[in-house]
Each structure stands twice: as C-alpha cells, then as structure tokens.
Chain A
Amino acid sequence: GQQVMQIPQYQHVQEGEDFTTYCNSSTTLSNIQWYKQRPGGHPVFLIQLVKSGEVKKQKRLTFQFGEAKKNSSLHITATQTTDVGTYFCAGPGGGSNYKLTFGKGTLLTVNP
C-alpha cells in the first residue's frame, strides 16, 4: 500500500535556527497537506499543495511540493518557541479520494 515517510523523526534546535522536515511518498500524489500538532493537542491544518514544483509561504514557513509530486518539504526560518510541535504531512491514500495517509511526523523542540 501507499506509504508516506517523514524525516527526521525528531529535531531539536536552538531558538533562531532554521528547521526543515522532509516528506516522501511511495506513489505520486495529487496533493499534499501539512498539519501541526502541539504537545497534548490535535492536528491543525497548515496548508495544501497541489501543483508540481509549487512553493507557498506563510510568514516564516515555506512549503514545497516536488516536481514529481512524490515529495514535499517544510522549512521554518528562525525558529521560535511557539513552533514547538509535531509536523505531519498527509496525502491521498491508495488512490482513494476519501482517505488521508499521514506520515509519522517530525517532532520539533526549540531551546530558548
């Protein structure tokens, strides 16, 4: 079945450092979504990418969808303590239109 893999599993940074998490799918994706889950919280939608090579920015966050639509990345510039949490990518599962397959996520911790 379709797999969505994320690396790294954990990332600890000093406040002000940059952070990047990578997402790779075993199949071509029609779109990819990114979610953030704070410790003890629930996933919150960040963004959806649809087009090959698409790049979207939200303040210090930059999201990219690969040309082959099989990988994606999230880059945070100058991390802040409020960025702490687990970042998940999610894509359509197994060709269905009803199922989202999530990666295992990257847990980001920030040392003030």
Chain B
Amino acid sequence: ETGVTQSPTHLIKTRGQQVTLRCSSQSGHNTVSWYQQALGQGPQFIFQYYREEENGRGNFPPRFSGLQFPNYSSELNVNALELDDSALYLCASSTARGASTDTQYFGPGTRLTVL
C-alpha cells in the first residue's frame, strides 16, 4: 500500500453536472499529480500541484480544475461533465517538484461514470 487515499471509490453523475474528487497524499509528500485513465488506455496527465500551486498542466480544458491544501491533500473538480469524462481518476503523490523524474505513488482511484 502506498498510503495515498482517494474518495469516493465510485461515482455516477449525469451529463452537465459537476464533480469533486479528493486525494490524500502519502505522508511527507508535497506534490500531487492527477491523471485520467480511460478503459484500456494508459494514465493521461491532467495537472500537478506543488505546495498549493499548480505546477503544470496537460491537454485538458479549463473545466478541469484543482486545489491543493496546506496539508498537501488535493481536490480535482470537473464542471459540465461530458460522457467522455467517464474514466478512472488517479492521483499520485511524490516528494519532488516534477513528476518526470520522481517515483509516483498512486492512489486506488475514483471510478467516475457519466450517464
């Protein structure tokens, strides 16, 4: 176990709704990255937070937004849900500012279904 927790485990929403997903990073980790994993695909980078600031963003529209709190936990918010947003959402924590060189410790994920 990595010590990274996510809630909720599963979520069902309808198109147009908004959703908030939560992540608690592993103790001592100050960086959180969020990924979207569609069925049969690899994780796709959404964005990264380092010490409460967005450190980088992937090719996702602005309706995907996030927050990181002083205790380094994080939220992913998605507005105006679309059917294609159905996926497993993974958060990963790490100790360094920069996911490309640091081990990513993934949480169990939140399975989002948009109807």
Contacts and interface: CB of A to CB of B under 8 A. Distances in A.
A45 B104 contact: yes
Contacts, number: 74
B107 A93 contact: no
A99 B100 contact: yes
Interface residues of A, number: 26
Interface residues of B, number: 27
B79 to A, nearest CB: 23
A97 interface: yes
A85 interface: no
B106 A100 contact: no
Interface in B23-71: 33, 35, 40-45, 48, 55-56, 58
A97 B90 CA distance: 19
B100 A100 contact: yes
Given A43-B90, A104-B42, A98 B105 contact: no
B33 to A, nearest CB: 8
Interface of B: 2, 33, 35, 40-45, 48, 55-56, 58, 90, 92, 97-101, 103-109
